[in-house]
């Protein structure tokens, strides 16, 4: 089963920007849409980004997604304490999730 690799954790001060990478392969990210999910402890995941860079209704534009080659990136600008959560990427090929990244606000 293919694996999407994310950094275990990223952190920044309030108001700053963080980026989370999601590294795959030509058969995973390279040929499929990427989506991103936010998960707070003890709660269900929530869709943040779909089709690489689209935001569902209600998701603030502080969250952005991009894809290039076999990697994808989630960006969070204007970091807030309420953004502290786990974030997962996923591709639609065999519906694989990334390893997850914990975002901390310093």
**What are the residues binding other proteins (CB under 8 A)?**
1, 32-33, 35, 37, 39, 43-47, 50-51, 54, 56, 88, 90, 92, 94-100
Cβ count near 67 (within 10 Å): 21
Q: How far apart are CA 90 and CA 32, in angstroms?
A: 10
Three-state secondary-structure class, residue 14: coil
Closer to other proteins by CB, 56 or 78: give it. 56
In the complex, the smallest distance separating the C-beta of residue 93 from other proteins, rounded to whole angstroms, is 10
Closer to other proteins by CB, 56 or 69: give it. 56
Cα angle, residue 77 at apex, residues 76 and 82 outer, rounded to 5°: 70
Closer to other proteins by CB, 33 or 105: give it. 33
In the complex, the smallest distance separating the C-beta of residue 58 from other proteins, rounded to whole angstroms, is 12
In the complex, the smallest distance separating the C-beta of residue 50 from other proteins, rounded to whole angstroms, is 4
Nearest to 37 by CA among 98, 106, 79, 104: 98
Three-state secondary-structure class, residue 73: strand
Closer to other proteins by CB, 51 or 78: give it. 51
């Amino acid at each position: 089963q293919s694996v999407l690799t994310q950094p275990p954790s990223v952190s920044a001060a309030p108001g700053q920007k963080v980026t989370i990478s999601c590294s795959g392969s030509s058969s995973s990210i390279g040929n499929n849409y990427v989506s991103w999910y936010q998960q707070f402890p003890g709660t269900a995941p929530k869709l943040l980004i779909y089709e690489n860079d689209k935001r569902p209704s209600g998701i603030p534009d502080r969250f952005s997604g991009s894809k290039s080659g076999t990697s994808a990136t989630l960006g969070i600008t204007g970091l807030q304490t309420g953004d502290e959560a786990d974030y997962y990427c996923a591709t639609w090929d065999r519906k694989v999730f990334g390893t997850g990244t914990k975002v901390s606000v310093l």
